[in-house]
Amino acid sequence: MTTDLSVDADWNALYLDGEWTAGESDETIPVEDPSTRERFTEVPAATEADVDAAYEAAAAAQAEWAERPPAQRQAVVQQLLEAVHEYEAEIADLLAHEVGGSRIMGETSVKIASDHLSEAATLPRRMKGEHAESNIPGKENLVQREPKGVVTVISPWNFPLNLSMRAVAPAIAAGNSVVLKPSTNSPITGGLLFAKLFEETDLPDGVLNVVTGRGSDIGDRVASHPESDVVSFTGSTEVGQHVAGLAGENLAVPAMELGGNNAFVVTEDADLDRAIDGATFGSFVHQGQVCISINRHIVHESVYDEYVERLVDRAESLPAGSAHESDTVVGPIIDESQRDEMLGYVEETVDAGATLETGGETVSIEGVDDSLVVAPTVLSDVTNDMAAACNEHFGPIAPVIPFSDVDEAVEIANATEYGLSGAVHAGDLSVAKDVADRMETGNVHINDQPINDEAHVPFSGTKASGMGSYNSDAFLHEVTETKWISIQHEPREYPF
């Protein structure tokens, strides 16, 4: 039977030990379409008993799965990649309905998720140990790499498909089992969808378990479960600190990608055509709801006015509206609280002396009483301490800050608790490289924008933007551990 991944499918079940189950409670959580503001389905509100059942299944299944030959684990990941490709249209439609993802966002999500799957498929054959010489005569040292055990994945709502995939796929490929807890705002594309896709593969029962529920009800139990060996979390710094603390109580490894306040530096000799192209994409793709999107535009005073004028023109040209319209670039914000918070930042910034060049309001959608679409917004005369600049606004908002020299630009860029991503545009590559070297952030992109993710390149944040690393060998090391085995081939002499 063909897997049903449609919006109208039945999503009201947990996935525990290879079975779809109603769980312990009859309570459900509605899932609303941000474009239409209408409920289109509901998912279970799991209890702590359901969480315990998920970890029990994961722990019981892990050892046998880890013993599978690398080729078998690789084959499962490749089967999942084939399923993602087969259901690409259905996945994009789910992203549009659940998180307001435009066509561009849906296509990008599938592309990045596929990249992570392709990389994860290589990991089973890369779990290699090493041979080390010994200081003891006649001794041989072996270092083996083994899976940690049970990996907890707590995924976000903004890019739920690929940000879940980058943890789930490599964890399973390396021989771990997984308990996946998606965000309440994206329980399908960040959670239940994975269960249905894995049913298209030969993954044994219990290796993947999915529990949907409110963080206030089950979040602490998930983060602190004694069966968990690794906790992967993507989300805000405040919540991440709490999750990491709970994980630490059980000595589980915390892998955290947290908040960002990413700087986009434009020098006086930068190619403004390229800079504006990057600025437009980096600020407004998926409504700015990207941890690594541009939060602050830091522009040299000699090109500042032209930059602002051209960015305004581009912002006003972007189609904004329902995610279900094929030409929409800027779709809806995920919910009212996020929308109201970002518009509040804009109002505070204007009150503090900035100029609202365009946007700063919602865009009407026919038939919707309270639109969640925020118009692409550009603010000029901004300083680093204004609300839209010093906070992670997480919206289609572009505060533009002037600077007089490179030293000042670097100072402004680094004047934040975060250090996730960034970018610099400069005509002189040596200047660009110098700025990149001095920016206190985990990722910097020269003559590009900060939204980049390649599965074979390590991805990590600094300062309050997280701990641990994702992608390739970096995340493989998070979900595996080394074991030292020594062999004493000849009789050893002891001092007594």
CB-based contacts of 407, cutoff 8 Å, min separation 6: none
Distance CA 283, CA 376 (A): 9
Asked if residues 375 and 359 have their Cβ atoms less than 8 Å apart, the reply is yes
Do 428 and 288 share a domain, yes or no? yes
Q: Do residue 224 and residue 275 come from a single domain?
A: no
Q: Identify whether residues 293 and 366 lie together within a single domain.
A: yes
Same domain, yes or no: 215 and 281: no
By CB neighbour count within 10 A (0-12 exposed, 13-18 middle, 19+ buried), where does 2 fall? exposed
Looking up residue 233, the CATH number of its domain turns out to be 3.40.605.10
Rounded Cα–Cα distance for residues 92 and 173 (Å): 25
Selection from 369, 406, 330 nearest residue 102 by Cα:
330
For the chain, the straight-line distance linking the first and the last C-alpha, in angstroms and rounded, comes to 71
Specify whether 341 is located in the same domain as 411: yes
Domain end residue (candidates: 237, 258, 279): 258
Residue-level pLDDT at 3: 87
Half-sphere exposure of 149 (CA within 13 A, CB side): 14
Instruction: For residue 185, give the DSSP letter.
Output: T
Q: Which two tokens stand for residue 299?
A: 């522009």
Mark whether 285 and 182 lie in a shared domain: no
- 88 and 65: one domain? yes
Please report, as a single letter, which amino acid is at residue 86: E
pTM of the model: 0.96
CA 489 from centre of chain: 49
Helix, strand, or coil (residue 37): coil
Q: Do 201 and 80 meet the contact criterion of CB atoms below 8 Å apart? A: yes
Is residue 390 flagged as an active site residue? no
Spatial distance between the Cα atoms of 134 and 108, rounded to a whole number of angstroms: 49
Is there a single domain that holds both residue 141 and residue 248? Answer: yes
Give a yes or no: residue 473 inside a domain: no
Encode burial over 330-351: b for 16+ CB neighbours within 10 A, e otherwise.
Answer: bbbbbbeebbeebbebbeebbe
For residue range 56-104, list pLDDT tens digits in order: 999 999 999 999 999 999 999 999 999 999 999 999 999 999 999 999 9
Q: Is 171 helix (H, G, I), strand (E, B) or coil?
A: helix
Give the β-pairing of 462-463 and 445-446.
unpaired
- Is 257 among the catalytic positions? yes
**Do 222 and 267 sit in the same domain of this protein?**
no
What is the count of structural domains for the chain? 2
Helices (runs of H) and strands (runs of E) counted in the chain: 15, 22
Does residue 475 sit within a domain? Answer: no
Catalytic residue among 291, 357, 392, 478: 291
Residue 178 belongs to a domain: yes
What angle, rounded to 10 degrees, do the helices at 88-99 and 103-120 form? 120
Q: Are residues 151 and 294 in the same domain?
A: no
Among candidate residues 257, 268, 392, 478, the one labeled active-site is 257
Per-residue pLDDT of the chain (496 residues), as tens digits, is: 468 999 999 999 999 999 999 989 999 999 999 999 999 999 999 999 999 999 999 999 999 999 999 999 999 999 999 999 999 999 999 999 999 999 999 999 999 999 999 999 999 999 999 999 999 999 999 999 999 999 999 999 999 999 999 999 999 999 999 999 999 999 999 999 999 999 999 999 999 999 999 999 999 999 999 999 999 999 999 999 999 999 999 999 999 999 999 999 999 999 999 999 999 999 999 999 999 999 999 999 999 999 999 999 999 999 999 999 999 999 999 999 999 999 999 999 999 999 999 999 999 999 999 999 999 999 999 999 999 999 999 999 999 999 999 999 999 999 999 999 999 999 999 999 999 999 999 999 999 999 999 999 999 999 999 999 999 999 999 999 999 999 999 999 999 9
Domain that includes residue 203, residue range: 14-258
